[in-house]
């Protein structure tokens, strides 16, 4: 692969609860042209028990698939890759241990995304295949472990929800032994309808002009109905009811024989079908168009948006600042000092531009907790960042930010990095130093109190020096920095203040 082609090649990996997808595309004249697609039915969700433990056979199947994907990704710049894990990863008890091996096999990091972020990316992906941007649309995506429902206009979502029902999880829960009956169907549908009632009126009130479905379940339903002669294109309510009645004529999943039903979709069709029927019923859908696009296309376009300064995360942070009435002048002081510190120590520290970006956002968000209470406000900041819906951010990114803002002052929490995969522990430790250091320098909230400084050291020892004249006028700041060495020692970092002369 030539250098010019290599840097213009991008890839998205969608690690779903039922299937793993790899999409490779080349950027030409400002547009993406797909050059490769790979799909494997791993059935990761089917291997997860009630305690979140993954079956070893399924785990090995997943690693083998990721190794094959990794071979295809080899040679593409790491900044041009993005892999996301969905519902099964969210439920996995030892996700970090799994990720350590999975990321090695794949050759890039894997982001675990929240349900509403998955919904946003699915909507973005489906919208790439819709002509015109004026119509309001409802998008339904039935995955293996969850179902996402989004109403939006153009590329902007207006309503987003993620339900904890998918074709794999529903099949396991209500048809685990493979038996089919009208009573089981009714029980499954009633369970789904109970959750759909919470959004039904809101969605109907918002309304839409066109309904679009994506995912393997919906494509399979369309193909079956078409081969039965019930539709030419698009899934309508009458055809869906006929397929439901036809499905209930079979006594077991193994005995189901329907034209257009593939062997790979066969084991989980009933769970996906009952979910689709419930959506049609609750939302009063008459017709559903089928999109060839889904999460992976959304991930790819979101990746390009981040590179082209159209990062949704920046808008999310701006909304946070407005909602919690953050002192913007103080934010800029802290951010400037923190990023300056980062730039002085980043070389040779396993720190990348993405870590600098996260540090900048943490500087923006570190005082959001003041909107709740001044007492121990850093803990409120951490809670808000960790538990809010933050469009564009992955679960790991939110946990990284939460660890930073929660520990930007006072004692550092024991196990402050435990929720994050091991690859992020060292970047977290060093960015935390930068944020804490900046907050001490900016404590007086005065621009002229912030000095020039020198930072030097390694991953275990950092030394700072200031101009002698400034030191003499700021004994409180020097005292705070000297006290800081005790807190930093708790995370294995030696820190000392020296005064070699003017910086």
Secondary structure letter of residue 252 according to DSSP: B
Burial track 162-187 (b if 16+ CB lie within 10 A, e otherwise): bbebbbbbbbbebbeeeebeeebbee
| Average model confidence (pLDDT) across the chain | 94
Burial class (CB in 10 A: 0-12, 13-18, 19+), 126: buried
Q: How many helices (H) and strands (E) does the chain have?
A: 19, 14
A 10 A CB-CB count for 448 gives 6
pLDDT tens per residue, range 367-395: 999 999 999 999 999 999 999 999 999 99
Collapsing DSSP to helix, strand or coil, 228 comes out as coil
Query: Does the pLDDT value for residue 503 go beyond 50?
Result: no
Average pLDDT for residues 46-71, to the nearest whole number?
96
What are phi and psi for residue 154, nearest 5 degrees?
60, -125
Residue 112: partners with Cβ closer than 8 Å, 6 or more residues away: 84, 85, 89, 90, 95, 394, 395, 396
Domain 116-293 has CATH 3.30.420.150: yes
- Boundaries of CATH 3.30.420.150 in the chain? 116-293
What residue ranges in 175-260 does DSSP mark as E strands?
210-214, 235-236
pLDDT of the residue at 314: 94
The per-residue DSSP string of 317-340 comes to: HHHHHHHTT--HHHHHHHHHHHHH
At the top level of CATH, the class of 3-112 is alpha beta
Give whole-number Cα distances, 237 to 68, 185, 234, 298, in Å. 40, 17, 10, 28
Q: Which residues partner with 497 through β-bridges?
A: 464
- Boundaries of CATH 3.30.420.40 in the chain? 3-112
- Among 103, 154, 156, 165, CA closest to 132: 154
pLDDT of the residue at 133: 59
Give whole-number Cα distances, 102 to 63, 98, 168, 299, 404, in Å. 6, 6, 22, 19, 26
pLDDT of the residue at 259: 96
Average pLDDT for residues 67-84, to the nearest whole number?
96
Average pLDDT for residues 398-411, to the nearest whole number?
97
- Among 328, 338, 391, 395, CA closest to 362: 338
Vertex 405: Cα angle to 404 and 406 (nearest 5): 95
- Torsion angle of C-alpha atoms 473, 475, 477, 481, degrees rounded to 10: 130
User: Is the separation of the CB atoms in 335 and 367 below 8 Å?
Assistant: no
- Please, which pLDDT band fits residue 502 given cuts at 50, 70 and 90? very low
Query: Does the pLDDT value for residue 131 go beyond 70?
Result: no
- Boundaries of CATH 1.10.3210.10 in the chain? 311-449
pLDDT tens per residue, range 280-315: 999 999 999 999 999 999 999 999 888 887 899 999
* Run of H or E residues at 84: strand 81-85
Classify domain 311-449 at the CATH topology level. Hypothetical protein af1432 (1.10.3210)
Vertex 392: Cα angle to 388 and 394 (nearest 5): 70
- Please, which pLDDT band fits residue 130 given cuts at 50, 70 and 90? confident
User: In whole angstroms, how large is the CA radius of gyration of the chain?
Assistant: 26
A 10 A CB-CB count for 423 gives 15
How distant is the alpha carbon of residue 138 from its chain centre? 21
Q: What percentage of the chain reaches a pLDDT higher than 70? A: 97
pLDDT tens per residue, range 312-346: 999 999 999 999 999 999 999 999 999 999 999 99
* Run of H or E residues at 436: helix 425-441
Q: Rounded to whole angstroms, how far apart are CA atoms 110 and 100?
A: 9
pLDDT of the residue at 2: 55
Secondary structure letter of residue 251 according to DSSP: S
What are phi and psi for residue 464, nearest 5 degrees?
-120, 145
pLDDT tens per residue, range 241-284: 999 999 999 999 999 999 999 999 999 999 999 999 999 999 99
Higher pLDDT residue, 6 or 486?
486
Q: How many residues does the chain have?
A: 503
Query: Does the pLDDT value for residue 100 go beyond 50?
Result: yes
Interstrand relation of 156-163 and 147-153 (parallel, antiparallel or unpaired): antiparallel
* Run of H or E residues at 476: helix 475-489
**pTM, to two decimals:** 0.91
* Run of H or E residues at 410: none
Burial track 354-385 (b if 16+ CB lie within 10 A, e otherwise): ebbbbbbbbbbbbbbbbbeeeeebbbbbbbbb
- Please, which pLDDT band fits residue 11 given cuts at 50, 70 and 90? very high
Query: Does the pLDDT value for residue 1 go beyond 70?
Result: no
Collapsing DSSP to helix, strand or coil, 420 comes out as coil
What are phi and psi for residue 372, nearest 5 degrees?
-100, -55
Burial class (CB in 10 A: 0-12, 13-18, 19+), 321: middle
């Amino acid at each position: 692969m030539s250098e010019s082609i290599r840097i213009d090649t991008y890839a998205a990996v969608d690690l779903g609860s039922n299937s793993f997808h790899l999409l490779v595309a080349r950027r030409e004249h400002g547009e993406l042209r797909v050059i490769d697609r790979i799909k494997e039915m791993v059935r990761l969700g089917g291997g997860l028990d009630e305690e979140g433990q993954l079956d070893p056979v399924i785990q090995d199947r997943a690693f083998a698939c990721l190794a094959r994907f990794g071979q295809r990704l080899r040679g593409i710049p790491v900044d041009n890759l993005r892999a996301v894990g969905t519902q099964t990863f969210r439920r996995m008890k030892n996700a970090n241990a799994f990720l350590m091996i999975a990321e090695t096999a794949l050759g890039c990091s894997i982001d675990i995304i929240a349900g509403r972020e998955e919904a946003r990316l699915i909507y973005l992906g489906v919208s790439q295949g819709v002509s015109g941007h004026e119509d309001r649309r409802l998008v339904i995506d039935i995955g293996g472990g969850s179902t996402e429902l989004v109403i939006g206009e153009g590329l902007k979502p207006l309503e987003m929800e993620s339900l904890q029902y998918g074709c794999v999880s529903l099949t396991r829960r209500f048809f685990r032994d493979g038996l089919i009956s009208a009573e089981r169907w009714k029980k499954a549908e009633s369970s789904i309808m109970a959750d759909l009632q919470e959004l039904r009126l809101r969605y109907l009130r918002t309304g839409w002009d066109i309904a679009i479905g994506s995912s393997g379940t919906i494509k399979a339903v369309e193909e079956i109905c078409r081969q039965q002669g019930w539709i030419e294109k698009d899934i309508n309510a009458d055809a869906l009811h006929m397929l439901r009645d036809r499905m209930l004529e079979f006594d077991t999943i193994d005995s189901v024989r329907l034209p257009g039903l593939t062997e790979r979709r066969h084991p989980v069709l009933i769970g996906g079908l009952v979910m689709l029927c419930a959506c049609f019923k609750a939302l009063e859908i008459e017709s559903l168009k089928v999109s060839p696009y889904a999460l992976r296309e959304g991930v790819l376009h979101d990746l390009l948006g981040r590179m082209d300064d159209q990062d949704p995360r920046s808008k999310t942070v701006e909304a946070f600042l407005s909602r919690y009435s953050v002192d913007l002048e103080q934010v800029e002081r802290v951010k400037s000092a923190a990023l300056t510190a980062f730039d002085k120590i980043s070389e040779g520290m396993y720190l990348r531009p993405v870590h600098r970006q996260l540090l900048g956002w943490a500087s923006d968000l570190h005082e959001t907790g003041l909107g709740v209470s001044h007492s121990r406000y850093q803990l409120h900041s951490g809670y808000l960042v960790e538990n809010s819906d933050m469009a564009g951010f992955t679960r790991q990114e939110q946990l990284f930010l939460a660890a930073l803002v929660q520990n930007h002052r006072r004692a550092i929490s024991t196990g402050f990095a435990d929720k994050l995969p091991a690859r992020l522990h060292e970047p977290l430790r060093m960015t935390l130093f930068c944020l804490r250091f900046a907050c001490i320098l900016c404590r007086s909230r005065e621009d002229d109190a912030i000095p020039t400084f020198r930072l030097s050291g390694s991953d275990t020892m950092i030394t700072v020096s200031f101009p002698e004249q400034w030191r003499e006028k700021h004994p409180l700041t020097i005292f705070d920095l000297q006290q800081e060495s005790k807190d930093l020692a708790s995370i294995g970092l030696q820190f000392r203040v020296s005064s070699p002369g003017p910086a």
